[in-house]
Amino acid sequence: MQIKDPKRYLAVCLIIICAGWIWPTIGSAKVASDQASNNQIISGVLNKEISIRPQLNKLNFGFGRHRGLEYFYEKTISKIFFQDKKLNAKIVDINIEAQEIALELFHPVLGTGTIRFEFSNKLLKQTTPQDVQKILLETLGDENHQYVVLDPASKLYHLWSCNHFADPHLMARMKREDADQQGYQPSGFCFKKVVYLPGLAVEKAIETEWSMRLRNYEPIEEESEKQTHLSVVGEKILKNWPVKLLGYNYAFYLSSSSEINAFAIPTGRIVITTALFDSLDNDDELEALLVYAIAHIEQRHSLKKYFSCLKDEEYSAAMKKLATVAGVLAGPVTGGLSGALNMTLPGESCSPQSLIGYHYDYVNQADSMVALYFDVHRQNRQAVASLIKKLRFSALAVNLHPDLRFAPQKNPDNSRLRRVINTQFRYFNEGSHFVLNRRNKPPVQLNLKYHQIFENENNVHVYLDEKALLQLDQVKNGITDVWLSITDKTGVHAFEHQKDLLTEDMWGAHLTFSATRGKKKKLLQDTEKIILTVGPARGPNDRLNEQRAKDYTFVPGIVDW
């Protein structure tokens, strides 16, 4: 056959080929591309209430099935999805784009959250708008979420919302506690603990870099008597921690070394040398050492120091790059992030922290937590003082070595010893709860944690479960100040926020306030109300500028639903 116009013939062929690629997609996604079907889905779910059952393992994703076909869903890191009780939430918005459908949910106490469903072309081809409505309305409330799926062959149990089985309906299921009693073990994929914290991706990358720097600190045999004892004492401390833990995966390692040292690495890895372990006289001193390590990790001192180091002009550009790569949420550290950190991590000024190498304010904060821990559990603080003396002795032994041309402080300040021995505490046990009720918005919970007085210092520690109230970025950058007015039966106590000691978690922030005037020697008694003031930073004359501050009044009570 002779082609009269080769160029036109080629163009026609390309059109036919392209149509062959595109047409199956168009034909199979009729539900998601048909506006009438979309309107029907929207009208069927908008403003409806759906049930949300607690997941056995708190993950922000899962899988579902419809007629044997799998779909995927992803939830935002919102309180509405991370809770321990069944609840109902209202669908206040819906967005449909191609094969994705996103629902915005609202709960009057827990606020909002978004869940995004992702469907395959094959599933959409076999569904009606009514099927899609059913998936959207019933997936999170499926009663199967309260059970585990059993695999008799491996003696493992899995989440119902995993994708390990073609059809979990064909598998045996039971309550998790019953599966444990029958000898089943949790699947490592389904029940691996996931930590959600702002900045965790950066901490993981720092941990990777620090692990390289500490590669000479090899752990001793895992089954050794000393290693087992270290882990047992560490787990006991975590169980008895005076305030709620951030959720790190803690692990305690004993490293064979003649150097007296210990390291608290971000994300929960604690390394203690055998030389230090063997120099401790009793379990009280070991407990004090581990409390120090956990306190530095819980208060995220390494991350704060890292950010402080990167404020230097030399590292400012690198910090911007790292922040862009890391994002705002925790997650698996990618090679790109780890590589970016390797290029940006400053030298010795930001090297791995031994327990005697932290900034003065961070050491004071850890000292206070150790003293509080021993107070709460009615243990004599003398073991803490003994540990501090030993660490100081060790530091002097190194610094005064003839091979080191260094002039150390030969008569160190004894304020640390005085702090751990003489600090007074008012510990609020499970917390003294205060609620801020807001019109048409979820209430805010503020909990008093503990109050401490040492010499001229008077600090109160609180937890606020709503970061947006604080204007957190402005507080961190020094643009906004926060004050606390606490009224108890002795009168009004005024406190100012110490921004360098702020510790952020996923939902809220742990705050430290310092007394600004009067009553510096009086611990809080029965608290009647708390006023939180968020306003512009003070000017050079220590006066507020013309911008108005916002006052929030908290009254005794607990947020319940």
What confidence tens digit (pLDDT) does each residue in 391-442 have?
877 765 554 444 433 444 444 568 888 999 999 999 997 779 999 999 889 9
pLDDT digits (tens, 9 = 90+) for 171-226: 899 999 999 999 999 999 899 888 999 989 888 887 887 777 777 777 766 678 99
Residue 229 has pLDDT above 90, yes or no: yes
Full DSSP string of 85-102 = S-EEEEEEEEEEETTEEE
Side chain identity at 238, as an amino acid letter? L
The rounded mean pLDDT for the chain is: 81
* Euclidean distance between CA atoms 197 and 203, whole angstroms: 10
Task: Please report which confidence band the pLDDT of residue 466 belongs to, taking 50, 70 and 90 as the band edges.
Answer: very high
Per-residue b/e over 325-349, b at no fewer than 16 CB within 10 Å?
Answer: bbeeebeebeeebbebbeebbeeee
Helix (H, G, I), strand (E, B) or coil at 427: strand
- CB 262, CB 269: distance < 8 Å: no
Amino acid at position 506, single letter: M
Mean predicted confidence (pLDDT) in 95-116? 95
Residue of 319 and 555 predicted with greater confidence: 555
Domains of the chain listed by start with CATH number: 31-141 (no CATH), 148-186 (no CATH), 220-421 (3.30.2010.10), 423-556 (2.60.60)
pTM of the entire predicted model? 0.81
Q: How confident is the model at residue 140 (pLDDT cuts 50, 70, 90)?
A: very high
- For 9, 12, 25, 160, 437, the CA distances from 19, given in Å and listed in that order, are 16, 11, 10, 40, 59
Rounded average pLDDT over 351-360:
58
Rounded distance between C-alpha atoms, residue 454 and residue 375, angstroms:
14
> Which regions of 258-403 does DSSP assign to beta strands (E)?
262-265, 269-273
Calpha distance 175→173 (Å, rounded): 7
> Three-state DSSP class for 64?
strand
Residue 437 corresponds to which tokens in the numbers above? 């009720």
The separation between CA 4 and the C-alpha centre of its own chain, rounded to angstroms, equals 70
Supply the pLDDT for residue 482. 94
Q: Give pLDDT tens digits for 439-460.
A: 889 999 999 999 999 988 999 9
Look at residue 301 in the predicted model and tell me its pLDDT: 87
Structure token pair of residue 26: 């168009």
**Is 141 a residue whose pLDDT tops 80?**
yes
Half-sphere CA count of 469, side-chain side, radius 13 A:
26
Q: Is the pLDDT of residue 340 over 50?
A: no
Strand, helix or coil for residue 346: coil
- State the pLDDT confidence band at 332, using cuts at 50, 70 and 90: very low
| 358-393 pLDDT, tens digit each | 667 788 889 999 999 999 987 789 999 998 888 877
The band of 312, judged by pLDDT with boundaries at 50, 70 and 90, is low
Answer yes or no: is pLDDT of 153 > 70. Answer: yes
